[in-house]
A and B are shown apart, each in its own frame.
Chain A
Amino acid sequence: MTVSLTLDHITAHYGSTQVLEDLSLAIKAGELVSLLGSSGCGKTTTLRLVAGFLEPTSGTIRLGERDLTRLAAHTRDIGLVFQNYALFPHLSVRDNVAFGLKQRGLGAAERTARANAMLERVGLSSFADRMPAALSGGQKQRVALARALVIEPPLLMFDEPLSNLDAKLRVDMRVEIRRLQRANGTTSLYVTHDQEEAFSISDRVAIMNAGKIMQLDRPEVLYQRPANAFVARFVGFENLIAMSVTAREGEMVTAVTQSGATLQLSQTVFGAIPDRFVLAARPEGLAVAREGEGIPVTLGIRTYLGRAYQYQCATAEGNYLGNGPLTDLMEPGAAAVLIPVPEQCCILPSDA
């Protein structure tokens, strides 16, 4: 049975501080959605609200047809995987996995059988009689995963589950998590601050900031077409250039930067361009050249990236980062131009 999770106009406070502001989120049945953001953005608070460890000030949380909002945490039937594994140190691996079954009143024989079967699935059969202290980090998180899955919850939630593992193991584990989640078709909420992790594992990602969801979409869309300046900066569009349109001629638009540099932009590439907008570009989206039609800059520090040189570029309105070709080495202090690479840039609505 797969069900959807719906958060409807959730507001939450810690004391008098508001941590979530009118947050709405719908996760479809069987879907894995990540909440991505830096610490303090409200992603963990959201998870704790759904788990029942916190109560929202207002709004409703619904799992399928069931209203969870005021339900006691232990009656919510949600599988949780924690950052610090949170295994019971006084119970063997098997008893850890069987804990949830015991709470559901299953007999000892059936508990053991189901715990063993689950341990088999995560490849830890031979560790069933060990104590958690005798396991490595990756094994502990597998046990935690087994413990959450064995109760066959309609919803799985992960709270930074891979943060304590080393890089190689992290990649293995996220594939493992995805595999088990897919196999069961369990609706999942995944909290992380790691962009690569969120993008690689999720059907959709919600980028959060200051208690609000800034954008919720497929990773590909977030990465290529951010909807606002915050998301753009978050996914690596380090250059945000404020511009205003001075002339329109068919598909072509002429726009100027704040310091007066003129650019020609095509609406066939960027879509409709409003009168005031922000041109967002990653460093590789701004080509540094000695001359041409672009934003005139003075070059600053140069760094070698292997595939290109990256330059700090000073203008009257601020500093930008652009990439220059390996074949043409330019010195700090030299005058150059930044030419936007249309496919690597996007247009954002102006904040003002």
Chain B
Amino acid sequence: MIKRLSPWILAGPASLLVLVFLILPVGSTLIATFTDAKGWAAPYATFFNSGFRRTVLYRTIEISLITTVISVILGFIAAYVVAQMPGRLKSIMIIAAVFPLLTGVVVRSFAWLILLGKNGILNSALLSMGIISEPISMLYTEGAVIAAMVYLFVPLMILTLAGVLEGIPKDVVEAATSLGAAPFAVFRQVILPLAMPGLIVGAVLVFTGSFTSYATPQLLGGERQMMMGTLLYQRAMVTFDWTGASTVAAIMVVVTIAIVMLMTRLARRLNPMAG
């Protein structure tokens, strides 16, 4: 009897933890969006009927996708270069790449305020070189948000990819070369497919990270470039519209899951072993 029950008893505490701190809160958030007095899907109708909120959603998806693509490309190049380096130099480069992660997101976003402001470093430099005649406003644009988020997430990408690229055996690349594959063919037919698992993990991390980001778009995008995180915060903490906030959260979860599934499917087509 005890023997039959023991798995349940052993799994109990952890299950309880998940139930209380994950399933119940998320569940109640979702339930709130379907039990509104105005009808079961009314909060979603309200969301999608608002041009402003739709724009915020599309902007968030757009910024996150662009951030992901740029981070993947930059991260791949950096990780590839790092993976070729000899042992000691490699560890130094990895530490250098990861170093920014040791400071907070807010601090790093502030750094971009100093860089991109009207009297910021970039404007002063361009002015003194005579490339521009008056400061250009770079803050509170999509570009500023993307730049800062790429800067934020490339270390993550490098970290996940460096391991994967290092794991590709050298002789597999040499085998491809000996069979007549030119460098680009080796990259396209061997390295890229074999790096795919790392690319997906990295891309998912970057996408979910930027999709749910709050501090960076808030500081560098302001009201004009509002993203879902800020919208969620406003709904909950400024207008106390808890159902509205729950709706935003639910939409974010659905979009994230949908995009992650899409990425995995895309990756599987390139490498059947991935995902």
B273 to chain A, nearest CB (A): 5
Interface residues of B in 154-176 (CB under 8 A from A): 169, 171-172, 174-176
- Closest chain-A Cβ to B274's Cβ sits at a distance in Å of 8
Cα(A347)–Cα(B184), bound, Å: 57
Q: Given A82-B171, A131-B273: A88 and B178 within 8 A (CB)? A: no
The verdict on B249 contacting chain A, using a C-beta distance below 8 Å, is: no
Chain-B contact segment, one of A69-77, A108-116, A203-211, A299-307: A69-77
**Contact between B273 and A89, CB atoms less than 8 A apart:** yes
Q: Which residues of A contact B272 (CB under 8 A)?
A: 90, 131
A99:B194 contact, CB within 8 angstroms: no
Question: Are B178 and A103 interface neighbours, CB within 8 A?
Answer: no
Residues A100 and B179 in contact in the complex (CB < 8 Å), given A90-B193, A90-B272: yes
Assign chain B's interface to a size class: 20 to 34
Residue of A nearest to B168 (CB): A89
B residues within 8 A CB of A103?
A: 179-182, 185
CB of B28 within 8 A of chain A? no
B271's nearest neighbour on chain A, judged by CB, is A90
Total number of residue pairs linking A and B with CB closer than 8 Å: 74
A94, CB-defined interface residue at 8 Å: no
**Chain B residues closer than 8 Å to A100, beta-carbon distance:** 179-180
Report the minimum CB–CB distance from A314 to chain B (whole Å): 47
Chain A hits for B174, CB < 8 A: 51, 53, 73, 80, 82, 86
Q: Within the assembled complex, what's the spacing in Å between the Cα atoms of A37 and B19?
A: 64
Q: Does A282 contact B (CB under 8 A)?
A: no
Return chain A residues, CB-CB under 8 Å to B183. 74
Within 8 Å CB of B172, what residues of A? 86-89
Q: Does A226 make an interface contact (CB < 8 A)?
A: no
How far apart are the CA atoms of A73 and B182 in the complex, in Å? 9
Given known contacts A89-B194, A90-B272, A103-B185, A74 and B171 CB-to-CB distance under 8 angstroms: no
Report A-chain residues with C-beta under 8 Å of the C-beta of B190. 88
Chain A residue numbers with a CB within 8 Å of B273 are: 89-90, 131
B177 at the interface (CB under 8 A from A): yes
Q: Least Cβ distance of A141 to chain B in Å? A: 13
Most A CB within 10 A of own CB, among B172, B180, B183, B271: B180
Within 8 A of B (CB), among A30-88: 51-53, 72-80, 82-84, 86-88
Which residues 134-189 of A sit at the B interface, judged by CB distance below 8 A?
144, 147-148, 151
Contact with A along B111-132 (1 / 0, CB 8 A): 0000000000000000000000
Judge whether A84 and B180 touch: CB under 8 Å.
no
Complex Cα–Cα for A75 and B183 (A): 11
Q: How far is the CA of A144 from the CA of B181 in the complex (A)?
A: 16
Q: Which of B169, B174, B175, B185 has the most CB of A within 10 A?
A: B175
Q: Mark B185-223, 1 if CB is under 8 A from A, else 0.
A: 110011001100000000000000000000000000000
- Select which of B176, B178, B189, B274 is within 8 A of A76 by beta carbon: B178
A82 CA / B176 CA spacing, docked (Å): 12
Give the residue name and chain of the B residue nearest to A73 (CB). B177
Q: Closest A-chain residue to B182, C-beta based? A: A74
Is there an interface contact between A86 and B179, defined as CB atoms closer than 8 Å? Answer: no
Among A75, A90, A102, A151, which residue has the most Cβ atoms of chain B within 10 A?
Answer: A90
Contacts of B193 in A (CB 8 A): 90
Contact in complex: A73, B178 (CB < 8 Å): yes
B175 — which chain A residues lie within 8 A by C-beta?
80, 82, 86-88, 144, 147
**Within the complex, what minimum Cβ distance (angstroms) separates A70 from chain B?**
16
Quick one: CB contact mask for A286-320 with B, threshold 8 Å, 1 for yes? 00000000000000000000000000000000000
Instruction: Please give, as numbers and ranges, the residues of chain B lying within 8 Å of A74 by CB-CB distance.
Output: 177-183, 185-186
Query: In the complex the two chains form, is A86's CB within 8 Å of B169's CB?
Result: yes
A280 to B255 CA separation, bound complex (whole angstroms): 80
Q: Which residue of B lies closest to A153 (CB)?
A: B178
Neighbouring B residues of A75 by C-beta, 8 Å: 180
Complex interface: chain B residues within 8 A of A76 (CB): 178
Q: How far is the CA of A86 from the CA of B179 in the complex (A)?
A: 12
Chain B, range 238-253, C-beta contacts under 8 Å to A = none
Contacts of A77 in B (CB 8 A): 180
A188 to B273, CA, bound (A): 34
- Smallest CB gap from A82: residue in B: B171
Q: Which residues of A, 242-259, contact B by the 8 Å Cβ criterion? A: none
Q: Which residues of B contact A147 (CB under 8 A)?
A: 175, 179
* Alpha-carbon separation in the docked complex, A78 to B178 (Å): 6
CB contacts (< 8 Å) of A83 on chain B: these are: 171
Identify which of B169, B171, B176, B182 contacts A99 (C-beta below 8 A). Answer: B176
Q: How far is the CA of A74 from the CA of B174 in the complex (A)?
A: 9
State the CA gap A100–B182 with chains docked (Å).
Answer: 11
Output the nearest chain B residue to A76 by Cβ-Cβ distance: B178
A131: which B residues are within 8 A, CB to CB? 272-273
A320 to B178, CA, bound (A): 48
B180 contacts which chain A residues (CB < 8 A)? 74-75, 77, 100, 103-104, 151
Measured between beta carbons, the chain B residues less than 8 angstroms from A89 are 172, 194, 273
A-side interface residues toward B, CB under 8 Å? 51-53, 72-80, 82-84, 86-90, 99-100, 102-104, 131, 144, 147-148, 151
Q: What are 6 A-B pairs with beta-carbon distances under 8 A? A: A53-B174, A73-B178, A74-B179, A74-B186, A80-B175, A103-B181
Given contacts A51-B178, A87-B175, 6 further A-B contacts (CB under 8 A): A78-B178, A80-B175, A80-B178, A84-B169, A86-B174, A86-B175
